[in-house]
Amino acid sequence: MASYSTNDFRSGLKVMLDGDPCAVLENEYVKPGKGQAFNRVKLRNLKTGRVWERTFKSGESLEAADVMDIDMEYLYTDGEFWHFMLTDGSFEQHAADQNAVGDTIKWLKEQDIYTVTLYNGEPLSVSPPNFVELEVTETDPGLKGNTAEGGSKPATLTTGAVVKVPLFVNIGDKLKVDTRTGEYVSRA
Amino acid sequence: MAENQWQATASWGALQQRAKTLSEIRSFFSERNVLEVDTPVLMRGATTDLFLDSISADVEVSGKTERLYLQTSPEFALKRLLATHRQSIFQIAKSFRNGEAGVRHNPEFTMLEWYRPGFTLQELMTEVAELVTLLLSVRPVRLDSYRNLFARYVDCDPFLASMDELRALSLEKTGCDMTGESRESCLDLLMSHCVEPHLGRNEFSFVYDFPAGQAALSKVEVVDGVPVAKRFELYIDGAEIANGYDELLDAEEQARRFEMDNAGRVKQGKPELPWDKKLVAALEAGLPECCGVALGIERLLMVRYGYQNISDVIAFPYAVV
């Protein structure tokens, strides 16, 4: 497998560190006036999600991690695995376990497209698109005409996610939600 | 590089701030009778420091080609001027360091360097403090020895700690494996990661009495039983801004350090470089007792105006050239 030197470390590059695949987040060049140069690197451990800060001598290399981000359609869950299918027409399927699906579970809607990160061919994590559209299954009755006033109430969506919504939202409404913040954006 | 990325990265405001700062620096020195001078960027002597790489250029005159070196600072030429005229001088010089690029580095940058015959290191630190006070704002001036800072932030004695101890500390504090690396490199790592971030917060922080291995072109003296380099560095907001020396006057010692640097370069698989014979000749003829300091103009602009990236204060940084 290829390896990358600290000079190649860019945000998003996937490398192996202490046996785990990591994504480079930041790479800062540190050089005391006449001293040796170092690279102070922030990496996210893709298995645990934890952020590591590590310093390398400039020019040191790390092995590339066999990690790929691939768009896949979510199909269904059998309770143990969540099944995804490639969108390239190959119908190739991958099963992600609960660990890989993680928090994305609350945004999973059948037939929507998610980014599945494969490590050595196995799903390592699943990321939702920035925005998803989901239907409200439970909320207090909407207050008619109350479209401008402030105030909010909780609403449960088909996936089980609970978001704060304006008072006028009703059961059955389709909502656009920002998955990065978990916040309501608008009615879809 | 993207061909369509042709615009300057510095805003008009940043260019005005740069011009204003340079003009204020010139007034500061003019009032003190320090003369502005100009020296060549291309010279025959290269910098021999193990971790400072000169950029070379092949110059052809009358059919004869010679390899010259872009100066990493105007130091050698300014010292020859000092040995010739024995007066206080300063230069705002374009300086070049191969391989250095980052949020605080650019391979081509601007160095303010000045020399004060007859000044002690203490007097020069005072003058540096006066300049940055004028340019930034009033802050308390703090002086710490390198040794005290290591005791405070790294909990070790940089002069007496064993190599094993320094390598273990490096690994523990930064995750960097320093096996096989020199004492000075371990100290540089610990200094930059554990000490520097604390320095110059709401104050002007001077560090003095460095380990002798980091002497470069400064005098070495024994202080509290250990050899120290008579140097200082100024830190503002965690960034190294200036580097001052009680200048080495001993020609023989200077030649020995150049040779030692070259031996170190060979060991690292780097090419030996022609060192500045004319500088050594100038020292032989006699450099006045003097102190000198180099200050990075871009770093100064960054701390003065709160910029996070050196490309905010350079019109066309390396990435856009």
pLDDT (average), residues A73-94: 95
pLDDT for res B10: 96
Do B99 and A38 meet the contact criterion of CB atoms below 8 Å apart? Answer: no
Q: Is the alpha carbon torsion for A100, A105, A109, A113 positive or negative?
A: negative
pLDDT (average), residues B1-12: 86
Which one of A5, A7, A20, A30 makes the best mutation probe of the B interface by having the most chain B beta carbons within 10 Å?
Answer: A30
Residue (of B199, B308, B243, B167) closest to A57 by Cα position: B167
Look at A120 and A1; give whichever has higher pLDDT: A120
Inter-chain residue contact A37 with B193, CB threshold 8 Å:
no
Cβ–Cβ contact B284 with A under 8 A: no
Q: Which residues contact residue A119 at a Cβ distance below 8 angstroms, ignoring those fewer than 6 apart?
A: A21, A46, A47, A65, A66, A67
Cβ–Cβ contact A111 with B under 8 A: no
Using DSSP's 3-state secondary structure scheme, residue B79 falls into helix
Residue A149, both tokens:
């006033």
Cβ–Cβ contact A36 with B under 8 A: yes
pLDDT for res A152: 87
- CB-CB neighbors (< 8 A) of B104 in chain A: 29
Least confident of A139-148, B17-26, B156-165: A139-148
Task: List C-alpha distances in Å: B49 to A78, B265, B281.
Answer: 64, 8, 19
Report the DSSP pairing between strands B239-246 and B220-223: unpaired
pTM to 2 decimal places: 0.84
Inter-chain residue contact A40 with B175, CB threshold 8 Å:
no
| A187 beta partners | A175
Choose the closest CB to A34 out of B49, B103, B191: B49
pLDDT for res A143: 65
Inter-chain residue contact A30 with B51, CB threshold 8 Å:
no
Q: Give the B window 91-110 contacts with A, CB below 8 Å.
A: 99-105
Residue (of B206, B229, B208) closest to B219 by Cα position: B229
Burial class of residue B12 in the structure, from the number of CB atoms within 10 Å of its CB (0-12 exposed, 13-18 middle, 19+ buried): exposed
Distance separating alpha carbons of residues A1 and B268, to the nearest angstrom: 27
**Residue carrying structure tokens 């690029």:** B101
Distance separating alpha carbons of residues B249 and B236, to the nearest angstrom: 30
- CB-CB neighbors (< 8 A) of B184 in chain A: 35-36
Note the pLDDT tens digit of each residue in A140-180: 886 665 555 578 899 999 999 999 999 999 999 999 999 99
Averaged pLDDT score across all residues of chain B: 96
pLDDT for res A148: 58
pLDDT for res B272: 93
Inter-chain residue contact B243 with A33, CB threshold 8 Å:
yes
**Residue carrying structure tokens 């497209």:** A113
Residue B218, both tokens:
């400064």
pLDDT (average), residues B203-218: 95
Inter-chain residue contact A34 with B214, CB threshold 8 Å:
yes
Q: Residue A48 pLDDT more than 90?
A: no
A97: left (phi over 0), alpha (psi -120 to 50) or beta: beta
pLDDT for res B216: 86
pLDDT (average), residues B22-38: 98
Using DSSP's 3-state secondary structure scheme, residue A80 falls into coil
Inter-chain residue contact B175 with A31, CB threshold 8 Å:
no
Note the pLDDT tens digit of each residue in A89-130: 899 999 999 999 999 999 999 999 999 999 999 999 999 999
CA angle A59, B164, B257 (to 5 degrees): 65
pLDDT for res B319: 85
Averaged pLDDT score across all residues of chain A: 92
Nearest residue on chain A to B213, judged by CA atoms?
A35
**Residue carrying structure tokens 């310093």:** A55
Do B146 and B136 meet the contact criterion of CB atoms below 8 Å apart? Answer: no
Give the largest Cα separation in chain A, rounded: 71
pLDDT (average), residues B238-245: 96
pLDDT for res A94: 96
List helix spans (H) across B64-162. Answer: 75-85, 121-135, 146-153
DSSP B311: G
- CB-CB neighbors (< 8 A) of A53 in chain B: 175
CA angle B57, B58, B62 (to 5 degrees): 140
Q: Residue A68 pLDDT more than 70?
A: yes
Do A146 and A114 meet the contact criterion of CB atoms below 8 Å apart? Answer: no
ipTM above 0.90, yes or no: no
Cβ–Cβ contact B286 with A under 8 A: no
Task: List C-alpha distances in Å: B122 to A10, A33, B119, B145.
Answer: 43, 21, 8, 13
Predicted confidence band of residue B289 (pLDDT cuts 50, 70, 90):
very high
**Residue carrying structure tokens 């250029």:** B57
Residue (of B96, B127, B106, B104) closest to B238 by Cα position: B104
Least confident of A148-157, B155-164, B283-292: A148-157
What is the Rg, in whole angstroms, of the alpha carbon atoms belonging to chain A?
21
pLDDT more than 70, % of chain B: 99
Burial class of residue A28 in the structure, from the number of CB atoms within 10 Å of its CB (0-12 exposed, 13-18 middle, 19+ buried): middle
